[in-house]
A and B are shown apart, each in its own frame.
Chain A
């Protein structure tokens, strides 16, 4: 009997060790299995990570994973998505269940330093806001003293909320649910005066209400929420690849390269475009890819601006303006180091 238990335990120990040992080279693993395993939002966050009735994924975070797949395989469909909630996401990345976490996750110091993961950059500059009923007659978050506020548990949102109300010396009450769906239902039922989460999320959630026009998003942004993809620490090669995929998306927009015109631009005399497309110099091989990796990304997925506009831009139902997320040359703060 003891021997039986001992052998089971030994097996479990070995499995534990094997799980941590497998993450030697993520790029090699990804190439071997033939797809990128991407951690996406399991809470159906329209515009960022959501599935339609056919199970098709869409969103800015989802498209970023497709861009990585395009860079590696020249095929944006070679990616598999793992739907994750706020609590599961870091463990899924740490344990190697996903290769990259692209799930509207805020880049903070503690997450960068003590969770064994590393943020590669910012795909969306966000901030926490409040949604209220128009009938409440409130026009500023500073008038929310004594309010009951609904939110999702297991995020930094609860902390920002507490900080905001404490620093303005306003009493409040927080009602924290596990999932977005319940937060929205409870808010709609009138359990709370306000609903707080990242402003982008508020725009997405507002659309799910029965009468979206009866609700408004208050102008105050109470926190900095730079959302970006993260990878595991300790694999610099993979980190560099994912980071430069993001930079390629931004540089392409800056250079005016789009899905539609990238083939014509092959004849361009601009040396920056030539380098980007892999016609002059080879920037792919050092990160383990082909020299036309950046061309593939833009050809298959489009540049940053195209991804933004297709998923959350003014022409979509979310209708979010570029704002901070515009290029640095156009009044925003999106900026990428040059490819050279």
Chain B
């Protein structure tokens, strides 16, 4: 172990020495210097006058956004397709199989270009729009939706959410006790839904609706460049984000579907038969008997897919989505600090992977068989 540590240290020191010998500046001081370039998607305020560190942070948030949403959507789609593939309906199971076999065998980068340019080519130009429904429009500039502008007192509404969740937990506990005592199960779902929607809504109305809607403004006249959606009005979801999310979701969902299918098929057939003979319907059998057992098989490989999706999101740079790799690449080129930027990339992806593994490890422990 000591030798290993010494070797790692030696490599770092050697690199630093060589960089110095070749007159290449080293260190992380450049992070405080002014970045000077623009980024198209900013989740938190950023201007050209912000620092390189801030620019990297913007890229990091963009990566987290697309990876987080991608994981949620791919999981939902993957479970649906995985279950559909086992359906006794010939059409459903074949469609699911075809989807899985086609999409998982085409390289992700190609799919990324395909979806992105399909999206771009099929949308109306920047000076036109295609209205989905009132306030929601699409054109090549992206999806233009109303933006919610929080006003004073919004924190009360936000604070109402954890209060509602706490109340829901209390209700659930009381309901369990009540059922144990009397054998009658109170309508927990109904009460909880009412609490979750009702409490924040009450706070919202009580504080005088502290939320304004900012609609996207579309200009149809004037000089050509002034036409189209006006910057700063509404919210724009850029097509780069949509293309990346679509490709990552559709691609990863195929793998998740296979994981789910394997998990379900790994549950002994006797379990299903036993459940059916107890009088459970097929939906209940799946939900109450098969899936909980299948989860034990599903979760570990599912973790792998989540890690893959996060790492694959670094292909974003190919279609101009400003993720950590894309922004980092610009910083790298402006400062020339290759070793430092690459180390930041590695640390971030490593950290994110560890975090995902830890969360999934926790879930795995919860569903795992308790062996005695």
Binding site for B on A (CB under 8 A): 2, 5-6, 9-10, 12-13, 16-17, 20, 86-87, 90-91, 94, 110-111, 114-116, 135-138, 143-148, 150, 153-156, 158-159, 161-163, 166, 171-179, 182, 185-186, 189-191, 193, 232-234
Nearest CB in chain B to that of A174: its residue: B38
Among listed B80-88, B219-227, B356-364, interface-contacting one: B219-227
Query: Contacts of B317 on A, CB cut-off 8 Å?
Result: 153, 177-178
Q: Which residue of A lies closest to B20 (CB)?
A: A116
Among A110, A173, A233, A234, contact of B231 (Cβ-Cβ < 8 Å): A173
Is A190 a contact partner of B326 (Cβ separation < 8 A)?
no
Alpha-carbon distance A171/B336, docked complex (angstroms): 28
Q: Assess the B225–A190 pair: CB atoms within 8 A.
A: no
Q: Which of A20, A145, A176, A193 has most chain B Cβ within 10 Å?
A: A176
Asked if A189 and B23 make an inter-chain contact with CB atoms under 8 angstroms apart, the answer reads no
Task: Name the CB-closest residue of B to A13.
Answer: B11
Known A115-B336, A190-B126; judge A173-B38 contact (CB<8 A). Answer: yes
B14–A154 touching, CB < 8 Å: no
Q: Are A176 and B4 in contact (CB under 8 A)?
A: no
Complex contacts, B239 vs chain A, CB 8 Å: 191
Given contacts A148-B141, A234-B22, contact A175 B333 (CB under 8 A): no
Whether the Cβ atoms of A2 and B1 lie closer than 8 Å is yes
Q: Are B37 and A162 in contact (CB under 8 A)?
A: yes
Is the pair A189, B121 in contact by a Cβ cutoff of 8 Å?
yes
Is B15 on the interface with A (CB-CB < 8 A)?
yes
By a CB distance below 8 angstroms, the chain B residues around A163 are: 36
Nearest-CB distance from A153 to chain B (Å)? 5
Partner of B48, one of A87, A166, A178, A233: A166
Among B120-148, those with CB < 8 Å from A are: 120-121, 125-126, 140-141
The reply to whether A13 and B10 form a contact with Cβ atoms under 8 Å apart is: yes
Known contacts A90-B338, A189-B121, A234-B22: does B37 contact A146 (CB below 8 Å)? Answer: no
Contact A6 to B3, CB < 8 A, known contacts A138-B225, A162-B38: yes
Answer yes or no: B329 CB below 8 A from chain A CBs: yes
Interface residues of B in 100-123 (CB under 8 A from A): 113, 117, 120-121
Q: Given the complex of chains A and B, what is the CA–CA distance between A294 and B349 in angstroms?
A: 52
Decide yes or no whether B25 CB sits under 8 A from chain A: yes
Give the distance in Å from the alpha carbon of A320 to the alpha carbon of B327 in the complex: 33
Q: Quick check: B36 and A189 within 8 Å, CB to CB?
A: no
Task: Sample 13 A-B pairs with CB under 8 A, ordered by A number.
Answer: A2-B3, A87-B329, A87-B333, A110-B335, A114-B23, A116-B22, A174-B37, A185-B117, A189-B121, A190-B140, A233-B23, A234-B21, A234-B22
* A138 CB, min distance to chain B CBs, angstroms: 7
Residues of A within 8 A of B18 (CB): 16-17, 20
Known: A186-B120, A232-B22. 19 other contacts (CB 8 A): A13-B14, A94-B24, A114-B335, A114-B336, A116-B19, A144-B225, A146-B225, A154-B333, A161-B37, A162-B38, A173-B40, A174-B38, A175-B240, A176-B40, A179-B318, A189-B117, A189-B120, A190-B140, A191-B140
* In-complex Cβ contact of A182 among B37, B39, B318, B335 (8 A): B318
Q: Is A234 a contact of B338 with CB atoms below 8 Å?
A: no
In the assembled complex, the CB of B329 is this many whole angstroms from the nearest CB of chain A, namely 5
Minimal beta-carbon separation of A304 from chain B (angstroms): 29
- What chain B residues lie within 8 Å of A146 (beta carbons)? 225-226, 231
Complex Cα–Cα for A172 and B113 (A) = 25
B78 in contact (CB, < 8 A):
no
Question: Which residue of chain A has its CB nearest to the CB of B322?
Answer: A176
B73 at the A interface (CB under 8 A): no
